[in-house]
Structure formats: structure tokens, C-alpha cells
Structure 1
Amino acid sequence: MPRPVLDEAHIHPAIRTRLAENRQAIVREVMAAIAASDIVVVGMAMNPFPRKARKLLDHAKLPHRYLQYGSYLSRWRDRNALKMWTGWPTFPMIFVKGVLIGGANDLQQLIGSGELKAMLQPD
């Protein structure tokens, strides 16, 4: 089931460009990292869950790219843009081969089940 997103017909034409361009630099930065790396972890300082995800990947000897965007009080608008883009409400956001797999606990389950290794196999 797709998540609801306000359709363009319900956005006044005068603000469509502002909406389309709002904080898109950070979204493009994450998209570029996802295109360039098999595993990308998007996180923030002082949050233990991005650190947990990185430790899980290090322990599994899986190379990954880490992008950190501020802490609880800084860069929250940038992080909010990422949340709006993905629909994922928390950090980290972990992408495997371009697919959002969730957060640290979701990563742990995929590692434990062996599904992560299967996802990383060449097509």
C-alpha cells in the first residue's frame, strides 16, 4: 500500500517550485551516495542507533558509507527533509543496493537471517 502524499492538484501553483526545491541538496547528496555505495547508513551524532548499525556492519566486515547530519538540536530541518523523502521516521536510515531496509534493528534481523548477504549478491 503506497503511503499518502499530497498530490500536486492540491498544491497551489505559486508554491510548487518552493516545495519541489526545499532542502533538495541533502536529498540529492544521499541519492548520490546510494548510487555509489552498496550500503549507506544515514545518521546523526549522539544517537546510539546509527552507531549500532555501523558496529553491526563492521563486525560483519561489510563496507559501508556513513553520512551524518547534525545532532538532536542541529540540522533537524535537513533530517526532516530526508524523513519526508523516505517516509522513514527515525535514524539511522539504511540503504542496501538502493533499497531502504529500515534502521539498526532491521539491519540486525537481515544479517541474522542471511538475507543481507543475499541482497548484496551480484544481480
Structure 2
Amino acid sequence: MPRNLLPEDQLHPALRDELGRFHADVIDEVKSAIARHPVVVVGMKQNPFPRRARRLLDRIGTQYTYLEYGSYLSQWKRRLALKMWSGWPTFPMIFVNGVLIGGAADLERLVEHGQFVALLAAPRAPA
């Protein structure tokens, strides 16, 4: 099912430009990491779920790149830009070979069912 997004033609042209620039540096940083690394975890301080995902990856011996954006008390607009870009509402955001797989619980499910290794071995998604 496609994501439910407000169509571009229903955004005023000036707003389109503003949305396109909204913390574009953060989005570019994450995109760059995703292009360079097979596994990327995007998280924040104080949230136990990014830590849970990283511990699982450590336990199964999978290397990953971790990007952290603030805490509950800081950098919320930078995290909002990532949520708007990805469509994923929570942290962590975990990418495997360029594909967003979800958060910590999603990673746990994939590992438990033996699907994570297959995702890691699959060809990289086109950029």
C-alpha cells in the first residue's frame, strides 16, 4: 500500500521549497551514510530502543553505522525532518542495504525469523 502523502500539487509552491530545505543537511547526512554502509541505525539519546537495536546488532556480530540526533530535550526539528523524509514515526530508523526495515522490534522480528541475514546478503536497493 502506498504511503498517504499530501500531493505536491496541493502544496503552495513557496511551501514546497521550504519543505525541501527543512533540515536538508540532516537528510543528506543520513542518505550519505545509507549509500556508504550496509547497515545504518539512526537514533537519539535517552531513547532505549536505538540502544536495544544496537545491542542486538552487536550480539549477532553485524557492523553498523550509528547516527544520533539529540535527545528528548534537543534537536527535535532535525528528527522531525527525518520522520517527514522517511515516513517512519519513531526512532530508531534502521536501514539495511538502503531499505528502511523499521525500528528495534522490526529488527528483532527479522533476526528471530532468520530474515535479517538474507536482507543483509541481498543486493543494495537502488538509490
TM-score if structure 1 supplies the norm length?
A: 0.95
* Percentage of pairs with the same residue: 55
1:4 and 2:4 matched: yes
SS of equivalent residue, structure 1 residue 120: helix
Partner of 1:31: 31
Runs of 4 or more above 6 Å deviation: none
Partner of 1:119: 119
AA of the residue aligned to 2:2? P
**Which deviates the most, 15-24 or 27-36?**
15-24
| 1:59-82 residue CA offsets vs partner (Å, 9 max, x unmatched) | 000000000000001000000111
| 1:8-34 residue CA offsets vs partner (Å, 9 max, x unmatched) | 211122332112111111011000000
> Where do 5+ consecutive residues of structure 1 fail to align?
none
Counterpart-to-counterpart distance in 1, 2:122 and 2:88: 27
Deviation at 1:122, TM superposition (A): 5.2
Number of equivalences = 123
1:20 and 2:20 matched: yes
> Where do 5+ consecutive residues of structure 2 fail to align?
none
CA RMSD between the two structures: 1.1
TM-score if structure 2 supplies the norm length?
A: 0.92
Partner of 1:101: 101
